[in-house]
Structure 1
Amino acid sequence: MTKLNERKIIQIFQNNMGNKRFVSEDVEFFKVGKTNFVLKVDTLVQSTDIPNQMSLQDAARKSVVACVSDFASKGVKPEFGLVSITIPKKLSDKKIKDIASGLGKASKEFGFKFLGGDTNEGKEIVIHVLLFGSTKKIILRKGAKTNDKIITTGPFGYSSAGLKILLEKKKASGKFSKKAKKSVFRPNPKLKFGVENAKFFSSSMDSSDGLATTLHEMVKQSKRQFTISKLPTNRDVLDFAKTNKIKPFDLVFHGGEEYEIVATISPKNLSKVKSNAKRQKISLFEIGKVSAGAGVVYKTGSKTIKIKNKGWLHFRS
């Protein structure tokens, strides 16, 4: 079994596919004339990505959400898609129809059209989704400027709590349990918000690998320091953490699969973006500030804590 994590495995493929200078981005893109053509592929695997309590309709939708969230963070609307599905030989007709239904409903929900795809036989369900779109300008992970504000859609902590309820049987009220599980089963990428507001962002990134990982990648590429002064979460997440003796810090920063937008923005554009978020009934958190330096720190009162680069990573032991 490999001892490499996901990032190191990706680097091996980059080095062998003629792209050693590759810079990590949420989407891939290339320019033809003045138009950037945007692509994103993501994979959902039954054994690692689908909890037992999750319906196949929701699983199929989530395979689409993983790509849509990346498009949202770049402010690009997906236009077309392809899908490749591995299906076990003994999978029932009903379950196959559930997968197809989930994909079809997701394409309508997010406003794109599937052009086609491929099917194959295998030992477990695997869904690969590829989305296409186009835009004049791409907002990169780098670009944060000193004195920019750091914002996120949110809140964070529900999906991490949901997985702990599902997989570790952590205690929660019925209302909170339902809310947290829904964030795992039916995440809500902020596509419309991203498309409308990306023009105001100096840098942006999807948060699905965890908030800490996202912030670290953005500071690395922007060569700046991010100082976080507010946890982007709600009271019920803090109550869940207290009940189960979990650090709220870990739920918020070191979870994953939130599918939110993290961005930096000039102070002069902040009120406009907040107004747009309010109009769309989206929770928007102003969580900190960009400064000269390096790394990600959390400042509370007189204490300053370094935020570790830890989040969701495949192949991590």
Structure 2
Amino acid sequence: MKTYARKPALLLSAVVAAGLAGTEAKAENYTLCGASPGGLWGLLGVGLDAAVKQTDPSSSVTYQTSSGGFANIVQMSQGACDMAIVHMGEAVIANNGDEPFPVPMDDFALVAVLYNWAPMQWLMNEQFAEQHGIVSIADMVGKPVDLVVNRRGILPSILAEVALEQAGLTFDDLSSAGGSVQYQGSQTAEELMKDGRGDVWTNAMFIGTGSIGSIAESVDLRLLSVPEDVVAYMAENYGSLPSVIPAGSYEWQDADVPTFSAQAALIVPKSMDSAEVEALTRSLVENIDQLTQVHSSMQALTPEIMQSGKSVAYHEGALAAYAN
């Protein structure tokens, strides 16, 4: 793994000195901070490795498991990896110095958006929705909703809490109205929805995710819409993308449902050599098929999407590659 000149890095709980300096004229072997093994980000690591090898067979991308994007930003700033995959919302939170970061961390730049079509899906038990007249997340105000969100402190649960607050509903309000908030991973969330211990589950997921189909086999579902002003707020402040889940995405869905989507991106240190980043970016663009073929959910990726990020600045090397 290479080292680059970096500013002091910040741990989530304290300030530490990165103490790294020096650059290399030519990059061949990269370490990539991703997430848990076996998931989509791990497959993207395989695709990134294959893409750079198409340009230079001696190059490589070695995938390093991690707890996710927040940790990746810290680890990359400390020199534990040369590049990282993050959700755009995590990058925005780091730039702003919002929790879990004690102060802003902004010593990184975009190389490419890797996907932007993981909509925040608000899946409610149809019987409960009909009983309480709920078609939008704003309609949950004052209702005894048992809400299931992803694990506490990771981006999807943060997005859920912020979106509901913008719609006029806090997590405490849910409890006051006789409902609850349960922080669970997808497998447990699926079980809670199936047996009626959860009324609505929300997470940033690709359309057609298997767990949704599994829940729909046990209970009727309704997708809740997100108000336009909430979508706009999430886009402006959390790097989300306004989106619509088209009618017919599920056999039980008969109308378009507006919401917002999470985006994932590849980032590198700002101090990384511009020529190196330009060469890396060009390899990804020219060999984009190596990324789209890692999983069926990646087939929508295009060079236009790769350069579509707006919430965080691109590295000047990446901009040069896209311009040529």
> TM-score scaled by structure 1?
0.26
> TM-score scaled by structure 2?
0.26
Q: Which has the higher strand share?
A: 1
